[in-house]
Amino acid sequence: MFKRNILSAFTAIMLLLAQHSLAEGGAVAFSQLGHLLDTPTETRLASGAPGPDYWQQRADYSITVRVDDEAQRIEGSETITYHNRSPHDLSYLWLQLDQNRYALGSDATLTQTTSSFENLSYGRVATMVEQERFDGGARIAFVRDERGTDLRYTVNKTMLRIDLPSPIKAGSSYTFSVGWSHNIVDATLIKARGGYEYFAADDNYIYEIAQWYPRMAAYTDYEGWQHKQFLGNGEFTLELGDYDLAITVPADHIVAATGELQNADEVLSPEQLERFNAAREPGGQRFIVTPDEARANESRRTAGEKTWRFRAENVRDVAFASSRKFIWDAQTVVNGERNVMAMSFYPNEAEPLWSQYSTPAIVHTMDVYSRYTFDYPYPVSISVNGPVGGMEYPMITFNKPRPYADGTYWDERQKSGDKTWERSKYGLISVIIHEVGHNYFPMIVNSDERQWTWMDEGLNSFLQFLAESEWEDDYPSRRGEPEKMVPYMISDRQVPIMTNSESIFQFGNNAYGKPATALNILRETIMGRELFDHAFREYAQRWKFKRPTPADFFRSMEDASAVDLDWFWRGWFYGTGHVDVGIESVKLYQIDSRNPDIEKPWQRAQEEERETGITRQRNEGIQTLVERNPELEDFYSNYDEYAVTPWDYAQYEALQEKLTERELALLSEKANFYAVTFVNKGGLVTPLPLRIEYADGESEELLIPAEIWRRDADRVTKVFVREREITSISFDPQRRTADANELDNHWPPRVTPSRFQLFKESEDPNPMRRYDEEQWKQPIQ
């Protein structure tokens, strides 16, 4: 196995002390973030916490809206009371008009590119046509002050500026009203976060209405007005406030909305009201509108309208859904000190999946997320099935997965062993966990998704993975495990996570998967669960109902854990490198004891172990000249170079007299020094989780911190001092670092089959069948 390398005691000590060579790469990888982060202020502290001067604006709304079920249009008015808590006087206000994304000739449509018309799908062609024809922009009917006087305003695409007669002084409030209307987009044709779905079979609609009213743009200490135009990807950030919401719909519609229903007795039938009140008590899941009632309601065309009233406190937005097709189930659970009503609204087309999984998924999400952050602070949490794939708003989420039109989902049409059925179920559960989870990030921890998608999508995808892991053993999560992120991280077109939302390439992997994976690695491999969970919870609680920036997150995680993570943020969030560490070499060193009684026999044994060279082997038996002529022999002809001589003893005694006791002890050290060289091929520095196996059959798990790369980020040599013989060393055997290439992770090297090879092997007959051709050709029943 090894040829022992002999060390002097001095060399051994130096080897232990200096296991790196100096190189610039390590210094760069571990340099502090410094100028990449915002300068700390008394508003945002160097610790990552909000400071004593922290401020944020607030906006309270009173909104009335009517849904026109004939024309698929809404008309509304709102009164906004804007609280200027900034230290600045404001001479104008900016509001978001996200609906103008759907205006004819909008930037979102004009800047959409298509590289080729070849192979264009139906969906994309239909979307193109619809976008050219559909006018979904907002019509502003009026903008007035509290006394009813018109205010001057300017619409700049998806932004509206109100010019004020006089500035709103710091610390004061201003009340004004806006009236507007817009056509509702067909969300089955145009990708949208809100819209309608039409059901031709029963001539009904489901409306999911979102980003629908003129909303106060955020005004912040770090960016001033957040009025980046809405192009479709970067969702939004808004001001927190209280909402009174009055939604007028056909009288036979069922409405779900952000907030607590204020007039259940006016809008529900007596039976529904009784069930609703019963469902408000903690207990099991129950129907408020049953599937049969919903089906009967589909054909009903009750005359007149009803107005559903909701109140929501301390939210940054409101959304709602309305349809006469809705089944409604609910379960009230205790979360912290609050009763929370988890509710699901869905058509019969969503059955049988939805009544079984939607509300339990809401409850599960709140349970898990609250443990890692804070108690859920709202009275309701809602999941609605409709045309929107998956989207979140405070207290209400839109989730699309649905079974086939015949009411079956996959298992009923699959052969035994085909597990495609799982996808309906897990697709639904996962999207609900994700969207309900967004209540925590960014609805409550109010980060700015128009600027940094990862701050909510990434953190949320990480918690989604934890929640999925607690749903059942071996939950088939699509994101979270480090190895799932490898194909993206080694691909040749990437941008850093710290990229603006509208410029991200490979969006899902960049903003969802990679940050989720990064946090998983932080938790499991770098910080450990205890330190990570404490720091993550601290961040969430510091910034609950406040506006964190990336620097606040990075700093909070370090501040609460005493772990310097600048290298990690630099590599994972500001860079595009990947993890690929290989074991380049392993060398064994042992200390030369200088004792001739030990060293000479060992040298002899080494020589004897060495196989004789081919020439000497073939010359065996041939009589040499010296053998034929003994007179040619001298002392050196039969000299035993491994024999211990008096001179050897004298040297050894002289050495002993010169050494200290400590040095003498080191000379008799029996340890093996294994010098293992790791090479960093991917560029991203990483901890080194190692498994060391010994000749006695035992093994050892070892986690070397990433700081091993701090002087040289390209190549390091680590010495392992062990009395036992090491038989193998493996880097990252549990696949916890997102290492890109397993082939070089082992000493001695191991062959790792490819995915295709594994498939081929699985297709081969089992070993028992391989002995008999008739058997291996016979299909398995």
Partner 1 sequence: MKLTSVWVAALLGLLWAAQGSAHPAHHSYAEVEWSAEGTLDVALRVIPEDLEAALSRRAGTTVVLVNTPVVREQLASYLAQHFVLQPAGHAAAPEVLGRDVAYGESWIYFSIAADREQILSLRNTVLMDHQEGQINRVRLLWASSAATLVFTEREPERQLGVIAE
Residues 483 and 258 sit within 8 Å (Cβ to Cβ): no
> Site for partner 1 (CB under 8 A): which residue of 529, 610, 616, 755?
755
Q: Does 478 engage in binding with partner 1 (CB under 8 A)?
A: yes
Site for partner 1 in 577-606 (CB under 8 A): 578, 580
> Rule CB under 8 A: is residue 39 a binding residue for partner 1?
no
The residue whose two tokens read 């549990």 is 734
The answer to whether 578 and 740 have CB atoms below 8 angstroms apart is yes
CB of 292 to partner 1, least distance (A): 25
Angle between helices 529-542 and 550-559 (to 10 degrees): 130
User: Counting contacts by CB under 8 A, is residue 358 touching partner 1?
Assistant: no
Q: Which stretch binds partner 1 (CB under 8 A): 55-63, 83-91, 254-262, 755-763?
A: 755-763
User: Which CB sits closer to partner 1, 593 or 686?
Assistant: 686
Binding pattern for the stretch 539-578 against partner 1, x by CB under 8 A and - elsewhere = ---------------------------------------x
Contacts of 78 (CB under 8 A, 6+ apart): 61, 62, 63, 64, 177, 178, 179, 213, 214
Interactions with partner 1, residue window 378-397 (CB under 8 A) = 389-392
616 binds partner 1 (CB under 8 A): no
CA dist., res. 531 & res. 559, Å (int): 11
Establish if 413 lies at the interface with partner 1 (CB under 8 A).
Answer: yes
Helix H or strand E segment including 521: helix 514-521
Instruction: Give residue for tokens 């300068």.
Output: 39
Residues in region 671-690 near partner 1 by CB under 8 A? 681-682
Tally of CB atoms within 10 A around 25? 17
Contact assessment for residue 703 and residue 688, using Cβ atoms and an 8 Å cutoff: yes
Please, what is the end-to-end C-alpha distance for the chain in angstroms? 48
The residue among 297 and 344 lying less far from partner 1, judged by its C-beta, is: 344
In angstroms, give the least distance from the CB of 121 to partner 1. 5
75, 137, 139: which is closest to 101 by C-alpha?
Answer: 137
Minimal distance, residue 477 CB to partner 1, in Å: 6
Site for partner 1 in 709-748 (CB under 8 A): 740-741, 743
Would you say 59 or 519 has its CB closer to partner 1? Answer: 519
Residues in the chain: 781
Q: Which residue shows structure tokens 């309701």?
A: 380
Minimum CB separation of residue 771 from partner 1 in Å reads 24
CB of 779 to partner 1, least distance (A): 13
Residue 416 CB, nearest approach to partner 1 (Å) = 11
With respect to partner 1, which residue has the nearer C-beta, 236 or 243? 236
What is the contact mask toward partner 1 in residues 80 to 119, using x (rule: CB under 8 A)?
A: ----------------------------------xxxxxx
Q: What are phi and psi of 650, to 5 degrees?
A: -60, -40
CA distance 75 to 453: 31
Q: How near is the Cβ of 419 to partner 1 at its closest, in Å?
A: 5
Nearer to partner 1, 96 or 297 (CB): 96
C-beta of 82 vs 393, nearer to partner 1:
393
Q: Between residues 272 and 460, which has the closer beta carbon with respect to partner 1? A: 460
C-beta atoms surrounding 688 within 10 Å: 22
Q: How far is it, in rounded angstroms, from Cα 725 to Cα 496? A: 44
**From residue 495 to residue 524, what is the string marking binding to partner 1 with x (rule CB under 8 A)?**
-----------xxxx-xxx-----------
Kindly tell me which residue out of 607, 759, 764, 772 binds partner 1, with binding defined by CB under 8 A: 759
Q: Minimum Å distance from CB 414 to partner 1?
A: 7
Taking the complex as a whole, how short is the minimal distance between the CB of residue 101 and partner 1, in angstroms? 13
Three-state DSSP state, 313? strand
Binding to partner 1 in span 114-143, by CB under 8 A? 114-126
Closest separation between CB of residue 626 and partner 1, Å?
A: 50
**Residues that contact partner 1, how many (by CB under 8 A):** 73
Task: Estimate to the nearest angstrom the gap between the alpha carbon of 539 and the chain centroid.
Answer: 16
Smallest gap, in angstroms, from Cβ of residue 493 to partner 1? 4
Q: Minimum distance between the CB of residue 120 and partner 1, rounded to whole angstroms?
A: 7
Residue span 183-212 as binding mask against partner 1, x where in contact by CB under 8 A, dash where not: ----------x-------------------
Question: What x/- string results for residues 232 through 261 when contact with partner 1 is judged by CB under 8 A?
Answer: -x-x--------------------------
Toward partner 1, which CB reaches closer, 199 or 602? 199
Q: Which is nearer to partner 1, 136 or 513 (CB)?
A: 513
Nearest residue (CB) to partner 1, 83 versus 402: 402
Burial class (CB in 10 A: 0-12, 13-18, 19+), 671: middle
Binding piece for partner 1, criterion CB under 8 A, among 86-94, 419-427, 619-627, 696-704:
419-427
Query: What string of H, E and C letters represents the secondary structure of 730-777?
Result: EECCCCCCCCCCHHHCEECCCCCCCHHHHHHHHHCCCCCHHHCHHHHH
Burial annotation 502-538 (CB, 10 A radius, 16+ → b, else e):
bebeeeebbbbbbbbbbbbbbbbbbbeeebbbebbeb
Q: Measured from the CB atom, is 316 or 711 closer to partner 1?
A: 316
Residue 111 Cβ vs partner 1, minimum distance, rounded to whole Å: 13
CA distances from 267 to 64, 275, 353, 471, 558 (A): 16, 13, 27, 36, 51
Write down the least CB distance from residue 576 to partner 1, Å: 11
Closer residue to partner 1, CB minimum distance, 474 or 609: 474
How far, in Å, CA of 133 to CA of 259, rounded?
35
> What is the nearest approach in angstroms of partner 1 to the Cβ of residue 487?
4
Q: How far is the CB of 475 from partner 1 (least distance, A)?
A: 8
CA 352 to chain centre: 30
How many other C-beta atoms can be found within 10 angstroms of the C-beta atom of residue 498?
Answer: 14
Identify which of residues 413 and 724 has a Cβ nearer to partner 1 in the complex: 413
Encoded tokens for 659: 């050494």
Q: Which of residues 431-460 bind partner 1 (CB under 8 A)?
A: 431, 434-435, 453, 457
Measured between alpha carbons, how far is 341 from 164 in angstroms, rounded to an integer?
41
Among 92, 374, 410, 694, binds partner 1 (CB under 8 A): 410
- What does 21-85 look like in DSSP terms, one character per residue? ---HHHHHHTS--GGGSPPP-SSB-TTSSB-TT----EEEEEEEEEEETTTTEEEEEEEEEEE--
404 touches partner 1 (CB under 8 A)? yes
In angstroms, what is the minimal distance from the CB of 239 to partner 1?
21
Q: Is 199 exposed, middle or buried (0-12, 13-18, 19+ CB in 10 A)?
A: middle
CA distance 297 to 291: 10
Question: Considering beta carbons, is residue 604 or 769 the nearer one to partner 1?
Answer: 769
Please state the closest distance from residue 534 (CB atom) to partner 1, in A.
30
According to the binding rule CB under 8 A, does residue 422 interact with partner 1? Answer: yes
DSSP-derived secondary structure for 668-691? T---EEEEEEEEE-SB----EEEE
* Choice from 352, 476, 601, 749 touching partner 1 (CB under 8 A): 476
If DSSP states are collapsed to H, E and C, what string results for 191-237?
Answer: CCCCEEEEECCCCEEEEEECCCCCEEECEECCCEECCCCCCCCCCCC
For partner 1, the binding residue among 322, 335, 477, 730 (CB under 8 A) is 477
Query: Largest Cα–Cα distance of the chain, in whole Å?
Result: 131
SS (H, E, C) 138-181: CEEEEEEECCCCECEEEEECCEEEEEEEEEECCCCEEEEEEEEE
Q: Which is nearer to partner 1, 191 or 280 (CB)?
A: 191
